[in-house]
Amino acid sequence: MLKTRQCLLGIRTFLGVASRIWGFILYILRKHLRTIIQYQTVRYDILPLSPISRNRLNAVKRKILVLDLDETLIHSHHDGVLRPTVRPGTPPDFILKVVIDKHPVRFFVHKRPHVDFFLEVVSQWYELVVFTASMEVYGSAVADKLDNNKDILRRRYYRQHCTLTLDVGSYIKDLSVVHSDLSSIVILDNSPGAYRSHPDNAIPIKSWFSDPSDTALLNLLPMLDALRFTSDVRSVLSRNLHQRRLW
């Protein structure tokens, strides 16, 4: 009888250890697979400009690309979230530790697929500006991680720069805060409410939470490449306002 109990205890111990080892293996496999998908070799050939294109580009103002953070470039959840939108066991790209109202909070941040490549490319075409409705202590930390010491996300605006609309309870981003000339500003944001004051300057993008096969940022590159040659971005972005595609 004693030997049977010892045998059963041994089996339970073995199964417990095996379960933990298998869980660790799955974690490593998911992380490795996500890394491959996130940083797979992607291409958007930046060919030398023709003399006509170069002259055209020199004749127009350099454009400003305003970038939202949450659900546009990244997705995050913090300690205490009961039902995170990211699949359990999916490792974050980085973890932020910030203090909010004197309480330390950890944010688990996941980068949208191809965001690093996207920022590298568009920073050659536009002046990049971060404009988030999030608190500065959080938004600044996220922007620092995305910038990665490349000095391409220098200008930043946060919740205190937004206007809170009491009727719908959302934050509006006033692009005139960024620059007085709206003909040269493009905003990329997943929330239509954020650019409701400047719909003709906006490129909608579908919200991103965890889909590793998402290619929305890559799909936008041809449009952003062409848009920088226009004299007024609104002349293009205002067309088919009610039939815009969510990238």
Catalytic residues: 68, 70
Candidates 193, 176, 56, 40; CA nearest to 114 is 40
d(CA 200, CA 186): 9
User: How many C-beta atoms surround the C-beta of residue 218 within 10 A?
Assistant: 17
- What torsion, rounded to 10 degrees, do the Cα atoms 239, 121, 230, 64 define? 90
Give phi and psi for 233, each to the nearest 5.
-60, -25
Strand 170-172 and strand 185-189: the pairing is unpaired
d(CA 138, CA 132): 10
Residue 121: strand, helix, or coil: helix
User: How many C-beta atoms surround the C-beta of residue 152 within 10 A?
Assistant: 16
d(CA 32, CA 42): 18
Take residue 108 and report the two structure tokens written for it: 């688990």
